[in-house]
């Protein structure tokens, strides 16, 4: 697409960025003779047409949202044009590197420089919140640091208005990068100004420490740590420590507000100590500060004097147990939202004897790989089971299997049985969820390692890369196997499979697989699915 002319006016010169849903180009405005940035919408190939329409609406909303914010630390929107069947956003071009690129290229920033960047992003967020706009995707990739030192917040693609023009995502569906999503938003999908401030804290933590406060090897591990653990210890933050600790408070009611954190950031930027109580604001008889009317984030009480979020020691036995429990739950239940391009040969040999593992469901590698048979039936919407209090997002329903388990499943997906596995597949698409019951292996970790050796040895997993094989302290125990490989068609895929024992004689294998490109996109469903799975008695 190099040198392509968009809308007869904007000539694309070079690609300067890309993500799961689009690309950003350096372009030349042939009418005004100036450089601009043009954001091109590139929907994933697996999206259905209604989802593509929703993505187009989100793109237009991004442009409208950013255009109404006239602030030096928010990237300016010049135009929105339609060309080649989709919208293109024309923006101010800021010669810059993202904060993520700065850290990757030059290493962690100093506390002083990080605080200066934090003040600029905080000013952008306060302007947005005052206009009733929530960003919802604050992270190092979306903070640009210009060659002239100017800092701008960009990419309002997930933004919503606190009144009107509501979100395009349903309740329970959490979008954004897991390492920079506030705990309460990851847990329940709730967004308010305080969730943006938590993401700001995580962004500044990553800038000064070199990694996010919940950096883990996989999205599953990140989400489980986010649900149960305090942030990783700070080693480089120095004078930034009080601000970061207050912003990363797990309880939003105890999280620092914008007015409270600003003097802490200014002190860190100049290395000047903050007077005792300087981060606190005077409170009126109504319980609100004098400045809170101008800042919707001002309703939370001040952080406790220690500024340290409550939680178990990150290296203690309770924390380790909670980590594995949460990881197991996430892995077990992320599958319902997954996109699967399964690869299975029905004639594959059974696992070799002496591995210490009993095959679960079918002896082949991955169940539910073949197209739905003629007898597959669509999943119909059903009321929640008696006593079930968890609410699902629209177009999902409770599926209760005759074997006893239940799980959230998309309405109208095709369901059929493949041996002892229950399969769900998107009509006309490739996304698949499978849940299979079987015998309990003597050692779940050894079971997955034996499967890994068998499948890689047979050549079924070309270009194989292991992410992890690890134990899970869930129900009676289990193990997770996450990996990637290249299919015969040349597609890079990513898989997560959970084996969990629920009784002395019964275990479940819950499998999910998607294209590598789509892995992070589908990870946004993890927490809803984590809370929906019930193994039955």
47-62 per-position pLDDT tens digit: 677 767 777 777 677 6
Distance CA 457, CA 417 (A): 28
Most confident of 77-86, 342-351, 462-471, 493-502: 462-471
Mean pLDDT of 340-368: 39
Strands 133-134 and 10-18, bridge-based pairing: unpaired
pLDDT at 474: 67
pLDDT at 340: 31
pLDDT tens per residue, range 141-189: 999 999 888 899 987 755 454 443 333 343 333 445 788 988 887 776 6
Instruction: Please say if the pLDDT value at position 313 is more than 70.
Output: no
pLDDT at 293: 31
Mean pLDDT of 17-44: 81
Mean pLDDT of 260-276: 76
Residue 374 is given by DSSP the state: T
Lowest-pLDDT range of 267-271, 272-276, 501-505, 533-537: 272-276
pLDDT at 321: 36
pLDDT at 525: 60
Between residues 245 and 168, the one the model is more confident about: 245
Instruction: Please say if the pLDDT value at position 450 is more than 60.
Output: yes
pLDDT tens per residue, range 415-441: 999 888 999 888 876 778 889 888 999
pLDDT at 110: 94
Mean pLDDT of 273-287: 37
Percent of the chain with pLDDT over 70: 71
Mean pLDDT of 208-232: 85
DSSP per-residue string spanning 116-168:
HHHHHHHHHHHHHHHTTEE----SGGGEEEETTS-EEE---TT-EESSSS--S
Task: Supply the residues annotated as catalytic.
Answer: 137
Which domains, ranges and CATH numbers included, belong to the chain? 5-92 (3.30.200.20), 96-278+294-311 (1.10.510.10), 322-530 (3.40.1000.10)
Mean pLDDT of 236-253: 92
Instruction: Please say if the pLDDT value at position 367 is more than 60.
Output: yes
Mean pLDDT of 294-298: 33
Between residues 49 and 535, the one the model is more confident about: 535
Mean pLDDT of 523-532: 61
Comparing C-alpha atoms, which of 525, 100, 131, 151 is closest to residue 338? 525
Instruction: Please say if the pLDDT value at position 319 is more than 80.
Output: no
Are 196 and 214 spatial neighbours (Cβ–Cβ below 8 Å)? no
Mean pLDDT of 124-137: 85
Are 196 and 135 spatial neighbours (Cβ–Cβ below 8 Å)? yes
Distance CA 499, CA 472 (A): 9
Instruction: Please say if the pLDDT value at position 123 is more than 50.
Output: yes
DSSP per-residue string spanning 286-336:
TS-BTTGGG-TTTTSPPPPTT-------TTSHHHHHHHHHHHHHHHHHGGG
pLDDT class of 396 with cuts at 50, 70, 90:
confident
Percent of the chain with pLDDT over 90: 26
DSSP per-residue string spanning 414-434:
EEEEETTEEEEE-TTS--EEE
């Amino acid at each position: 697409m190099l040198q392509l002319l968009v809308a007869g006016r904007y000539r694309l010169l070079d690609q300067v960025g890309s993500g799961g849903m689009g690309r950003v180009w350096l372009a030349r405005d042939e009418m005004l003779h100036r450089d601009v940035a043009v954001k091109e919408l590139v929907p994933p190939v697996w999206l259905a047409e209604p989802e593509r329409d929703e993505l187009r609406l989100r793109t237009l909303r991004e442009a409208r949202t950013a255009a109404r914010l006239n602030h030096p630390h928010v990237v300016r929107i010049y135009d929105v044009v339609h060309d080649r069947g989709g919208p293109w956003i024309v923006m101010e071009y800021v010669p810059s590197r993202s904060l993520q690129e700065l850290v990757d290229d030059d290493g962690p920033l100093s506390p002083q420089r990080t605080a200066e960047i934090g003040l600029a992003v905080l000013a952008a967020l306060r302007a947005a919140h005052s206009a009733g706009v929530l960003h919802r995707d604050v992270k190092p990739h979306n903070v640009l640091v210009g060659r002239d030192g100017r800092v701008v917040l960009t990419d309002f693609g997930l933004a919503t208005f606190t009144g009107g023009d509501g979100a395009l995502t349903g309740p329970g569906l959490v979008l954004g990068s897991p390492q920079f999503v506030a705990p309460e938003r990851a847990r329940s999908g709730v967004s308010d100004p305080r969730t943006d401030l938590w993401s700001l804290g995580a962004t500044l933590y990553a800038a000064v420490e070199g990694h996010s406060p919940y950096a883990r090897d996989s999205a599953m591990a990140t989400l489980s740590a986010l649900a149960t653990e305090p942030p990783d210890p700070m080693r480089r933050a120095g004078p930034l420590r009080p601000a970061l600790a207050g912003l990363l408070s797990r309880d939003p009611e105890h999280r620092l507000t914008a007015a409270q954190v600003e003097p802490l950031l200014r002190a860190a930027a100049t290395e000047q100590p903050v007077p005792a109580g300087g981060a606190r604001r005077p409170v009126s008889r109504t319980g609100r500060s004098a400045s809170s009317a101008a800042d919707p984030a001002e309703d939370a009480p001040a952080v406790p004097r220690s500024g340290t979020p409550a939680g178990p020691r990150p290296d203690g036995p309770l924390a380790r147990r909670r980590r594995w429990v949460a990881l197991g739950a996430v892995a077990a239940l992320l599958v319902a939202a997954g996109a699967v391009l399964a690869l299975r040969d029905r004639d594959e040999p059974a696992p070799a004897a002496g591995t210490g593992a009993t095959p679960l469901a079918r002896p082949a590698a991955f169940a539910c790989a073949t197209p739905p048979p003629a007898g597959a039936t669509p999943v119909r919407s059903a009321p929640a089971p008696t006593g079930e209090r968890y609410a699902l997002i629209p177009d999902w329903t409770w599926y209760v299997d005759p074997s006893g388990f239940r799980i959230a499943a998309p309405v109208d997906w095709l369901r059929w049985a493949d041996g002892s596995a229950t399969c769900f597949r998107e009509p006309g698409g490739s996304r698949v969820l499978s849940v299979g019951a079987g015998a309990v292996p003597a050692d779940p970790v050894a079971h997955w390692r034996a499967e890994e050796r068998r499948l890689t040895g047979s050549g079924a997993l070309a270009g194989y890369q292991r992410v992890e094989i690890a134990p899970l302290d869930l129900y009676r125990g289990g193990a997770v196997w996450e990996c990637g490989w290249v299919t015969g068609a040349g597609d890079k895929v990513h898989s997560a499979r959970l084996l969990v024992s629920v009784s002395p004689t019964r275990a479940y294998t819950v499998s999910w697989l998607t294209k590598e490109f789509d892995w992070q996109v589908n990870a946004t469903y993890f927490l809803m699915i984590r809370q929906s799975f019930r193994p039955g008695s």
